[in-house]
Structure 1
Amino acid sequence: MRLLPKTILVVSVTLFLILVGFYFYVQQILLKTYTELEEKEVQRDLQMVVDTVIHETKMVSTKIRDWATWDEAYRFIKDHNKKFIKDNFTEDTLGNLNINVMIFIDLQGKVVATLKKPDTWNEQELITRILAHHQQLLNHLNEKSEIYGTITLQDTIMILGSQPIVGSSGKGKIRGTLLFGRFFDESLTTELAERLHLRVNFRRLDSAASVPHFRLALANLMSKQQSFLTLPQDKFILWGFTLLHDIFQQPNIFVYLVRERVIYQQGLQSLHSFLMALTVFGLIFLSITLVLIRQTVLARLSRIVRDIQRITLKNSTTERVKVRGTDELAALSCVINDMLTVLDSNSQEIRTLNERLKAENVRMGAELDVTRRLQQMILPKEQELEQITELEIASFMEPASEVGGDYYDVLRHAGGVKIGIGDVTGHGLESGILMLMAQTAIRTLLNNQVTDPLIFFEVLNRTLYDNLQRMNIEKNLSLTLLDYAHRRIRLSGQHEEILIVRADGLVERIDTFSLGFTMGLVDNIREFIAEITIELNTGDMVVLYTDGITEAENEHGQLYGLERLCAILSLNWQHSAHEVKCAIMRDVKQYIGTQRIFDDITLVVLKQK
């Protein structure tokens, strides 16, 4: 992505994240304030409802006062004269008082007279329910005593007031009790809602508990001792709840009101308008910022890039980038020019070093070529192998680099045939030289008719060790020597396992670990040298190899392995030594595929005629 689109993307994303973060922050603060304001409004409305209900109960008590202190009522409660009822009570009396029932009770608790609206309950049932659990209404300690509030009947609620019946002077002996009652019914609820201009409603406590939504609010009001509770239904409706208490200060009325969230909606609208304005401002700011960045930074960077491209095309370190201004981009141009100056001053030295390296590479290439040719020259020739009539011999060697570190040789002498195979650590020039030293020392010992494996390996190891110490190189050689004579092989020296394939295809694996020690690693290995003898019959085969075969890797990094080599031998044991060699190398190449060869590969196949 080019710098300009990347800058636009970074600035846009940054601005977007700032706007989103600012929006959520303002939303939390602003909407929380609006919500708290709404809750206060709802609590104020609930308090107004509570105050109005209390006022209604007080009004009932106030209306009783005129009747309870009337002399005629005072005489009536004593003489029970029905003329009082006939002369003073009409069909409109209760309506004018805005009550549902009026009850006169003497000091013995006997109901003297009852006046109720026709549509209310049966008179006796109503009186029974009022007085059943509310005998406290009749207990007035003095002439000025008054009791008012709400009471819960079986399936309704009533506003009830109670005052003692006394003379007009307000003094004298109490002769009874006067009760005024008004049902807290739907008409009263509607009257209160219209008066307060609120969507308010009232339920008995047990009725509210049966509604799941109210049950949760009721539980909160009862458990937390809260006076008021507000719960949002959604972003449009807010509920308010409170409890009213009866004459005995026990909760008996569940009050709830519904309020539209006008303040909250106004807050949301204000927030969205503010966000829109902020977005417009942000886009204007983004546009101005991008124009300024493009003119003051990106355009100048483009000119610097063009200058560098011009210098690159000319391939000249004498050219310079034009310096414009005095800011950081100008400093960058100066740094680039300083770098070009340094490159220019060092270019001649680099060219000189390149020439020297080329010459050195030519010289080392010549040396490596000589060493490689020497290695190839001292390998046993085909005609030498054919002169060994007792054995079929086939061999293969492929170095991983120009000069290999593998060793193998077949030397005929008066006592028989000496066959050697070994592997120098690593490969390259030093490994190739160590291999040449080993071949020369082995032939020298053989020409001096040294046949004892202890003496042979001891002298060979000492020679290699001393030379390696003089050369100051960390190389060593694993080596196994086979002495063949009269269908018998004497085997000594430590290297890879020797494979003996019998004429019936059975493969025997001979471990050489206990037959010697690594050559050139220490100065004396005499105590490690041992020898075993192997008898060969017609058709038996001996296979020698280096780890370049068993550790060859395929494209998945998996090793070729000794088991796979033994399997190939079991399939091809009946063929000639040359055919077996070809079968093994063909399978190894197929297994490796396109993978590079990491180690030298050497293979020698001997078959008893």
Structure 2
Amino acid sequence: LASGLGWIGVETVIPLYAASTTPERLPSGGLDPDEAVDGDDPQGTAGGNGTADAAAAADLSDDPSEETPWLERRVIIGALALGEKVTETRLTFEESSLLSLVANQVGISLQNSAMHEERVQVRLLEEEVSTARLIQEQLLPGAPPALPGWELCASNSPSRWVGGDYHDFLPLAEGEMGIAIGDVSGKGVPAALLMSNLQATLRGRVLRGSPTQEVVGDVNRHICRSTGPESFISFFLGELHPECGTFRFTNAGHNAPIVVRRDGTVELLEDGGLLLGVFPEATYETGAVGLEPGDLVVLYTDGVTEAHNPLGDMYSEERLMEAVVRHRNGSADTVHARILEEVAMFQDGRDPDDDLTLILLKRTVPAETNGAGDPGVTALESNGGLQ
């Protein structure tokens, strides 16, 4: 470095050190105690990193048999360049030591300044993400709507500040209600932006009163036009007729919702078609199922079934079905809480890998048809019966 700067009259170069964040293995044999910062200082006093640095580096190795210890202390982030002394004499040891001390302090100050700037940028980013999370919470529904004769509950838990899971409750004509759930590819802010695009598109199409397969087809064409090939969405749209209990639906590549009958029989709602955003010309089908008093519908994203425990095992669809069947006689709120508890116990403290959304829909059993000891009796009686 000194020889490279010689054309501007640099006589001595002292490196500016800062704390290293990346360990670096020294060459076999450690540092050369005779290595100098420039050719005019064979004792290495100008840089202050001769024998002392080699000894310190050797002390870093916990294993005395280690041939090439790790140097974890400092990296060079700049240099202090000095011209020839006015007296035209070489630097004394005291002068070299003082300049090395100054250089070290300058290096630390430069690093602290850079770290402060980095912290400011991180704080600004956190504020922006927090604002995005607040906006997303306002876009997602709050408490589910009240439906006479039905229990409905839902939760959404992003794995990061913002997530790509989507759910919605959509009021339709003649007292019917739309229930939507989706999972956008990716995580974080990009997924949240695509989720908001899905929500706006869906709400505009649903208001037209079209059948579910036509609504899903329109949404798919819009997503294909407005996003790239790397973006796709698994999606489910259901249309509930509260009076007769008919639930029509279209499943666009989403985890099939689970229907658990009062007697414990299990059905999956799979009719539909491909993921949204894959093929603009994709067509979709509509399925239908009749829900009787005591029947339960579970809609979820893969954050539930793909939750991992510390051993790497997934919670799985089978465990989810077993949990729903086991708790089916409880209220929708109770079953919802039990599922989340079992998923959390399965994870055993491990952080979630994906966003988690869970919706429970249950047709209530009239009080006079409840059997003795059925949890539904107490709940209905305490509420004064069906509304």
Question: What is the TM-score normalised by the length of structure 2?
Answer: 0.65
Q: Give the counterpart of 1:480 among 213, 216, 236.
A: 236
Paired with 1:458 and 1:502, the residues of 2 have a C-alpha distance of: 30
Residue 539 of structure 1 corresponds to which residue in structure 2? 294
- Opposite residue 483 of structure 1, the aligned amino acid is E
SS of the equivalent of 1:493 reads strand
Matched, 1:571 2:332: no
Residue 135 of structure 2 corresponds to which residue in structure 1? 374
Paired with 1:303 and 1:377, the residues of 2 have a C-alpha distance of: 58
2:129, 2:162 within 8 Å by CA — same for their partners in 1? yes
Paired with 1:353 and 1:474, the residues of 2 have a C-alpha distance of: 36
Matched, 1:305 2:44: no
2:151, 2:332 within 8 Å by CA — same for their partners in 1? yes
* Alpha-carbon distance, 1:342 to partner: 11
Matched, 1:521 2:282: no
Paired with 2:180 and 2:265, the residues of 1 have a C-alpha distance of: 24
Paired with 2:53 and 2:353, the residues of 1 have a C-alpha distance of: 50
Relative to structure 1, the CA distance from residue 463 to residue 351 in structure 2 (aligned partners, 3 Å threshold; closer, same or farther) is farther
SS of the equivalent of 1:605 reads strand
* Alpha-carbon distance, 1:308 to partner: 11
User: What CA RMSD, in Å, does the superposition of the two structures yield over aligned residues?
Assistant: 3.5
Matched, 1:393 2:155: no
2:212, 2:238 within 8 Å by CA — same for their partners in 1? no
SS of the equivalent of 2:227 reads helix
In structure 2, the gaps of 5 or more residues are 1-28, 30-49, 60-72, 81-98, 365-387
Deviations 1:497-554 (A, max 9, x none): 2211111122222335xx12111233332x3x11111011111111001111111111
Paired with 2:196 and 2:109, the residues of 1 have a C-alpha distance of: 42
Greater RCO, CA 8 A, separation 6+: 2
Paired with 1:590 and 1:302, the residues of 2 have a C-alpha distance of: 54
* Alpha-carbon distance, 1:608 to partner: 1.1
Range with bigger deviation, 586-595 or 408-417: 408-417
Relative to structure 1, the CA distance from residue 465 to residue 316 in structure 2 (aligned partners, 3 Å threshold; closer, same or farther) is closer
Paired with 1:444 and 1:347, the residues of 2 have a C-alpha distance of: 56
Residue 252 of structure 1 corresponds to which residue in structure 2? none
Aligned residues: 281
In structure 1, the gaps of 5 or more residues are 1-6, 8-299, 320-336
Residue 358 of structure 2 corresponds to which residue in structure 1? 603
2:251, 2:270 within 8 Å by CA — same for their partners in 1? no
SS of the equivalent of 2:289 reads strand
2:251, 2:269 within 8 Å by CA — same for their partners in 1? no
Residue 464 of structure 1 corresponds to which residue in structure 2? 223
Relative to structure 1, the CA distance from residue 303 to residue 575 in structure 2 (aligned partners, 3 Å threshold; closer, same or farther) is closer
SS of the equivalent of 1:508 reads strand
Residue 434 of structure 1 corresponds to which residue in structure 2? 194
* Alpha-carbon distance, 1:604 to partner: 0.3
Relative to structure 1, the CA distance from residue 567 to residue 317 in structure 2 (aligned partners, 3 Å threshold; closer, same or farther) is same
* Alpha-carbon distance, 1:421 to partner: 0.7
Paired with 1:545 and 1:308, the residues of 2 have a C-alpha distance of: 57
Paired with 1:536 and 1:561, the residues of 2 have a C-alpha distance of: 25
Q: Percent identity?
A: 26
1:317, 1:344 within 8 Å by CA — same for their partners in 2? no
Residue 250 of structure 2 corresponds to which residue in structure 1? 492
SS of the equivalent of 1:523 reads coil
Relative to structure 1, the CA distance from residue 598 to residue 303 in structure 2 (aligned partners, 3 Å threshold; closer, same or farther) is closer
Paired with 1:563 and 1:493, the residues of 2 have a C-alpha distance of: 20
Paired with 1:519 and 1:364, the residues of 2 have a C-alpha distance of: 31
Paired with 1:412 and 1:404, the residues of 2 have a C-alpha distance of: 24
Relative to structure 1, the CA distance from residue 357 to residue 464 in structure 2 (aligned partners, 3 Å threshold; closer, same or farther) is farther
* Alpha-carbon distance, 1:341 to partner: 7.4
* Alpha-carbon distance, 1:375 to partner: 1.7
Relative to structure 1, the CA distance from residue 502 to residue 344 in structure 2 (aligned partners, 3 Å threshold; closer, same or farther) is same
2:213, 2:250 within 8 Å by CA — same for their partners in 1? no
Relative to structure 1, the CA distance from residue 437 to residue 571 in structure 2 (aligned partners, 3 Å threshold; closer, same or farther) is same
- Opposite residue 568 of structure 1, the aligned amino acid is A
Question: What is the TM-score normalised by the length of structure 1?
Answer: 0.42
1:390, 1:608 within 8 Å by CA — same for their partners in 2? yes
* Alpha-carbon distance, 1:367 to partner: 2.4
Residue 211 of structure 1 corresponds to which residue in structure 2? none
Paired with 1:357 and 1:363, the residues of 2 have a C-alpha distance of: 10
The within-5 A match list for 1:392-411 is 392-411=151-170
2:212, 2:249 within 8 Å by CA — same for their partners in 1? no
SS of the equivalent of 1:463 reads helix
- Opposite residue 379 of structure 1, the aligned amino acid is L
Q: Give the counterpart of 1:553 among 298, 305, 308.
A: 308
The within-5 A match list for 1:271-310 is 301=51, 304-305=54-55
The within-5 A match list for 1:41-190 is none
Paired with 1:430 and 1:585, the residues of 2 have a C-alpha distance of: 26
Structure with greater Cα Rg: 1
1:505, 1:574 within 8 Å by CA — same for their partners in 2? no
* Alpha-carbon distance, 1:302 to partner: 5.2
Paired with 1:306 and 1:550, the residues of 2 have a C-alpha distance of: 52
